[in-house]
A and B are shown apart, each in its own frame.
Chain A
């Protein structure tokens, strides 16, 4: 299809790579939504694609599904070339899309059965799987309910159960908890954890740093179509960021930084009204700030959001 300029995939070091991409590129209207990315996902990993809206996460997932053709590069999913043999590959893949596309004409259980029929599952197979999946999604009581009667969290869990109807080896989730309240989010996280424990490979996109830190063995930080860094959340923080952060707020923050602060911190970032001060040891800085009149400040440990801010120069939560 687009193999002319495609790079050959290097021989796989680990035979168990579930996704292998080399030089993968997708251009929309002259802008590379995905710009020559190279990465692998190993079997059993939970990998998070972390980035703001418009970073190229969804496009990358569509490429992996084989639902959009790359403009350059090579991609192999579950050992099959994509998009060339995407249909065959999707028989072993589960997908949780960003926006629920449950079938409103069917009940909860009918949704699972109908979706199973797209995988060629017969009555007997469905009779065995549907009750187990309803249980997994905590929707057994609602098996006959209409979709419109479900809460947002229930719909998301049903979508997750639906993605598992073919017992997939790889599960791809596009912003699985966006728009959910904290309680619904925690329940979904617990279910996703169970899946990783059961040995499923998960690839999920998110713009919630907390989600990535909780769920993912490995995080790939993505912005403007490229993968800027990849590693476990702890490794990324260690490699890119001083471990302690002191946030200084208010009108005097800038003046303080210019006059005295700059000498006391390793690095600083301005974000809106506040100054983020990165240090190895927070104690001396906190003592010095306590002696300043009229400055408010808090101390926390560095997190993925700080990594993101350093790598991209913008905030994860507000960038769009």
Chain B
């Protein structure tokens, strides 16, 4: 089935990941887990409740989203760049019936998968710590898949423009870090100046947190589709852009 050729690219990455699954799991969700425990209990001692929920619960729903973003971003930047420019894996793939579009779709699907792989354990730990209200929190996982696809596609745009690993510092510092800090992961957006709040409404991560937090805390979920549409729009534009840029780069 030509429409599903990209699945072979996704499966290639899955096979490589399986070989190194243990160290990569430890590395990738160990850090957000430490954030959760240290900040959750540390700050939690000062701020008992935020937005009518324990701080640990508030933070856990944010950390789940942030770790999905970071996992997809790292995969779409560094790992994809290695496959493109260092190992020439994509060049090999482009000598088969697969096209640049297949490569981008397969890589993007993999970044979404990585986002789920990395955020699911945090959800489990949060549940064990009592920071999850009920089983409907599992709906967070498809949201993390969407968020991963979105940030993966955005990272692939950056990778398509990169001439070396150093280039990624701009994207990390100017795009990812501000989102990480200003999307309501660690504290409610309402404490920020109005113009920063306005800016934060442009961040896909803000919209993911806005959906994940009620799902995990059991608070009423308001207008989720609008938030999901913002994330999907970013991802949709990014994937089309990434295909266009990579065609220009690889089929020169």
A-to-B contact residues, CB < 8 Å: 65, 67-69, 87-88, 90-91, 93, 95, 97, 99, 101-106, 110, 114-115, 117-120, 166
Contacts and interface: CB of A to CB of B under 8 A. Distances in A.
In this complex, which of B11, B19, B93, B251 has the most chain A Cβ atoms within 10 angstroms of its Cβ?
A: B251
B233 interface: no
Given A101-B87, A114-B12, 5 more contacts: A67-B95, A68-B251, A90-B96, A115-B92, A119-B97
Given A87-B2, A105-B16, A110-B15, A97 B251 contact: no
B87 A104 contact: yes
Contacts, number: 62
B227 to A, nearest CB: 36
B133 interface: no
B97 A67 contact: no
B87 A103 contact: yes
For the complex of A and B, list the 8 residue pairs with the smallest distance between their C-beta atoms, beginning with the closest.
A101-B88, A118-B96, A95-B95, A101-B92, A105-B16, A91-B97, A117-B8, A87-B97
Nearest to B20: A105
B96 A119 contact: yes
Contacts of B19: 105
A65 B99 CA distance: 12
Contacts of A114: 12, 15
B8 to A, nearest CB: 5
Interface of B: 2, 5, 8-9, 11-12, 15-16, 19, 87-89, 91-99, 250-252
A65 B89 CA distance: 16
B96 A115 contact: yes
Contact of A103 (B8, B92, B250): B92
B2 A103 contact: no
Contact of B91 (A97, A106, A115, A119): A97
B99 to A, nearest CB: 6
A99 B88 contact: yes
B96 A106 contact: no
Contacts of A104: 87
Contacts of B92: 97, 101-103, 115
A97 B93 CA distance: 12
A117 B8 CA distance: 6
Given A68-B252, A69-B251, A117-B11, A101 B97 contact: no
19 contacts: A87-B97, A87-B99, A97-B88, A97-B91, A99-B88, A101-B87, A101-B91, A103-B87, A104-B87, A106-B15, A106-B16, A110-B15, A115-B96, A117-B8, A118-B5, A118-B9, A118-B93, A118-B98, A119-B97
A119 B95 CA distance: 10
A67 B96 CA distance: 11
Contact of A67 (B15, B16, B250): B250
Nearest to A163: B95
A97 B87 contact: no
Contacts of B88: 97, 99, 101
Contacts of B99: 87
A112 to B, nearest CB: 12
Contacts of B96: 90-91, 115, 118-119, 166
Nearest to A95: B95
A119 B12 CA distance: 13
A109 to B, nearest CB: 12
In this complex, which of B16, B19, B95, B99 has the most chain A Cβ atoms within 10 angstroms of its Cβ?
A: B95
Contacts of B16: 105-106
Contact of B97 (A69, A88, A97): A88
B86 to A, nearest CB: 9
In this complex, which of A65, A114, A166 has the most chain B Cβ atoms within 10 angstroms of its Cβ?
A: A114
A16 to B, nearest CB: 23
